[in-house]
């Protein structure tokens, strides 16, 4: 798994990018195996072959580390879809990337773990809400706005419900109904949204 992060310059020795990548990968891997509560800095340090202070120097809170690890996996998949002139296909590609990550990178397990922990951890809930909102603004909302400009989507439809229908349907199947979430399902969603 390849995750890219920005490393802030601080006091002391420069931080190695490779060490940060190992920590993020270890945190993500542990979330595919354990509940959020069971994932600790000690276990992450052991898996990444670093010390706990090494982690604390980079991430002051577990919530920040976990959201960075998950965001890195999602960003890797988002980069794998080239921008096209057709906004419908861009939206389809972004959702394909999401459902692929849910399966191939066990993102579905990780999402379920995080959602299960959110009612008991306000800091985690706030970070998830913030990062989810930023991700929506930077990827899907831009695609939808262009689709509305080009009349692929009716201008009287509102952004929030469009995104909620697409993402809500995917996560409902993943977390509640257990029905298949695949490219065929995404195709049906996109066709319904882009009428």
Rounded to the nearest integer, the mean pLDDT of the chain is 85
| Sign of the four-CA dihedral 166, 167, 168, 171 | positive
pLDDT tens-digit readout, 58-98: 999 999 999 899 888 877 766 655 566 788 888 898 888 88
Residue 161 lies in a domain: yes
Helices (H), the chain: 17-33, 41-48, 52-58, 62-79, 87-104, 107-117, 122-138, 140-149, 159-172, 183-193
- pLDDT of 13 > 70? The answer is no
Residue 83 lies in a domain: yes
Average pLDDT over residues 31-57: 96
Percent share of the chain, pLDDT over 90:
42
Q: Rounded to 5 degrees, what are φ and ψ at 70?
A: -70, -45
Residue 84 lies in a domain: yes
pLDDT given for residue 7 in this prediction:
42
Residue 38 lies in a domain: no
pLDDT tens-digit readout, 98-134: 888 888 888 889 989 999 999 999 988 988 888 777 7
pLDDT given for residue 40 in this prediction:
96
Q: What is the pTM of this model?
A: 0.77
What is the C-alpha separation between 154 and 152, in angstroms, rounded?
7
Residue 15 lies in a domain: no
CATH number of the domain bearing residue 75: 1.10.357.10
- pLDDT of 8 > 50? The answer is no
End-to-end CA distance of the chain: 37
Residue 144 lies in a domain: yes
For residue 185, give Cα distances in angstroms to 36, 46, 150, 181, 189.
29, 39, 24, 6, 6
Which domain does 135 fall in, by range?
Answer: 69-193
Structural domain count of the chain: 1
Contact, 63 vs 123, CB < 8 A? yes
Residue 52 lies in a domain: no
Q: Which residue has the higher pLDDT, 61 or 148?
A: 61
Residue 123 lies in a domain: yes
What is the C-alpha separation between 162 and 155, in angstroms, rounded?
12
């Amino acid at each position: 798994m390849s995750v890219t992060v920005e490393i802030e310059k601080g006091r002391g020795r420069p931080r190695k990018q490779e060490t940060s990548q190992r920590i993020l990968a270890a945190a993500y891997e542990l979330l595919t195996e354990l509940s959020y509560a069971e994932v600790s800095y000690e276990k992450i340090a052991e898996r990444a072959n670093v010390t706990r202070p090494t982690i604390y120097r980079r991430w002051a809170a577990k919530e920040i580390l976990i959201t960075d690890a998950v965001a890195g996996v999602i960003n890797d998949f988002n980069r794998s879809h080239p921008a096209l002139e057709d906004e419908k296909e861009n939206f389809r590609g972004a959702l394909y990337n999401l459902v692929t990550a849910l399966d191939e990178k066990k993102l579905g397990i990780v999402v379920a773990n995080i959602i299960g922990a959110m009612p008991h951890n306000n800091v985690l809930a706030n970070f998830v809400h913030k990062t989810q909102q930023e991700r929506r603004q930077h990827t899907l909302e831009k695609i939808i706005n262009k689709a509305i400009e080009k009349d692929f989507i009716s201008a009287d439809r509102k952004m929030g419900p469009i995104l909620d229908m697409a993402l809500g349907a995917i996560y409902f199947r993943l977390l509640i109904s257990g029905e298949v979430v695949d490219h065929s399902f995404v195709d049906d969603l996109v066709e319904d949204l882009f009428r």
